[in-house]
């Protein structure tokens, strides 16, 4: 099987700083979305290929969209691996300190884009915008940058009027119309540089987990953040909001979802302007191979 390692020099990643085995083909990206283009074209021509990308969640997202755009044969035969070199590395956190993984994972489709890890609407989406402004600073990268983004958004009026429709894992349709702080979807468990927002989520269960948080006061939100970061807001046995938080949020495992009356959506950390998000799951979409990771051993840079 052909093997290609892909790096992004613009993100501060240089071959001299990486351990890449001799004889491995290396491709250096040449600009924004070049990685996605290169993977799509390469996988269409030669789908049986093992691609290793160096970067963060934005890099992983481009790789996934490239594989999906290449078509069904690439989805069946291409293998994706990730070396975490981003500021958040939320996708690879799903493999941290666990067993080696080789298998199929699900992919979420949101409008015309594909998502491997998380989708954010409302508060978290606004935080992504603010975090992007500060994460280039070495002192506010990773989780600290996310916290700075949270503080900046908290200084504004909270709550967004949303129309939400979900189809849960049992096929039941649930509709919500009102003011919400946020809604977030997880194929993986983490967002924001380690916030365990979807603690019951699994990359290969054919479902995405949905968190819908009611509008609340700033003081109530601040009290919630600690448990939100550690995943204690959800009861893992029932896969529902924990008893302490039932009046503040809802948690479902779903197959489809539509959110209306929005202005933008965050897909794996990238912001897209839109007034509606139509979301569905594609089970067992692509092949992923990942070792057991200890993220404390990786020195992260930009995405």
Q: What are phi and psi of 189, to 5 degrees?
A: -90, -20
**Distinct helix (H) and strand (E) counts, the chain:** 6, 16
Q: How many CA atoms lie within 13 A of 78 on its CB side?
A: 29
2-86, which class in CATH? Answer: alpha beta
**How much of the chain is helix, strand and coil, in % rounded to 5?**
30, 40, 35
Average pLDDT over residues 211-227: 91
Q: How confident is the model at residue 87 (pLDDT cuts 50, 70, 90)?
A: confident
Residues of the chain with CATH 3.40.50.10330: 2-86
Structure pTM? 0.89
CB 188 within 8 A of CB 231: no
CB 7 within 8 A of CB 26: yes
Output the pLDDT for position 302.
Answer: 46
Output the pLDDT for position 165.
Answer: 98
CB 104 within 8 A of CB 204: yes
* 4-54 pLDDT tens trace: 999 987 666 666 556 777 888 999 999 889 999 999 999 999 999 999 999
Displacement of CA 106 from its chain's centroid (Å): 12
Task: Write the Ramachandran bin of 62: left for phi over 0, alpha for psi from -120 to 50, otherwise beta.
Answer: alpha
* 118-160 pLDDT tens trace: 999 998 788 878 777 766 664 555 566 767 777 787 778 888 8
> Considering the domain 118-282, what is its CATH architecture?
Sandwich (2.60)
* 166-187 pLDDT tens trace: 999 999 999 999 999 999 999 9
Task: Give percent of the chain above pLDDT 70.
Answer: 89
Residues of the chain with CATH 2.60.200.40: 118-282
Task: Give percent of the chain above pLDDT 90.
Answer: 67
Output the pLDDT for position 222.
Answer: 85
Output the pLDDT for position 300.
Answer: 52
């Amino acid at each position: 099987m052909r093997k290609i390692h892909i790096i992004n020099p613009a993100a501060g990643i240089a071959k001299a700083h990486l351990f890449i085995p001799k004889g491995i083909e290396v491709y250096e990206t040449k600009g924004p979305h070049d990685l996605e283009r290169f993977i799509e074209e390469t996988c269409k021509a030669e789908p049986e290929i093992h691609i290793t990308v160096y970067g963060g969640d934005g890099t992983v997202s481009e790789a996934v969209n490239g594989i999906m755009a290449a078509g069904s044969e690439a989805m069946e035969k291409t293998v994706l691996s990730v070396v975490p070199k981003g500021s958040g590395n939320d996708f690879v956190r799903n493999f941290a300190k666990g067993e080696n993984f080789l298998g199929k994972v699900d992919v979420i489709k949101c409008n015309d884009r594909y998502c491997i890890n998380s989708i954010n609407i409302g508060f978290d989406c606004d935080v992504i915008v603010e975090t992007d402004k500060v994460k280039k600073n070495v002192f506010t990268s990773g989780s600290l940058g996310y916290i700075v983004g949270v503080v900046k958004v908290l200084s504004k009026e909270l709550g967004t009027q949303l129309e939400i429709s979900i189809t849960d894992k049992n096929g039941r349709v649930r509709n919500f119309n009102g003011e919400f702080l946020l809604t977030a979807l997880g194929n993986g468990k983490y967002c924001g540089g380690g916030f365990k927002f979807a603690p019951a989520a699994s990359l290969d269960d054919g479902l995405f987990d949905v968190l819908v948080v009611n509008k609340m006061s700033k003081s109530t939100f601040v009290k919630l953040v600690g448990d939100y970061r550690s995943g204690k807001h959800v009861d893992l046995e029932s896969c529902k909001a924990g008893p302490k938080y039932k009046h503040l949020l809802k948690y479902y495992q779903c197959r489809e979802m539509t959110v209306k009356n929005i202005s933008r959506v965050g897909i794996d950390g990238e912001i897209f302007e839109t007034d509606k998000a139509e979301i569905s799951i594609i089970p067992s979409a692509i092949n992923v191979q990942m070792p057991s990771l200890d993220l404390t051993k990786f020195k992260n840079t930009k995405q």
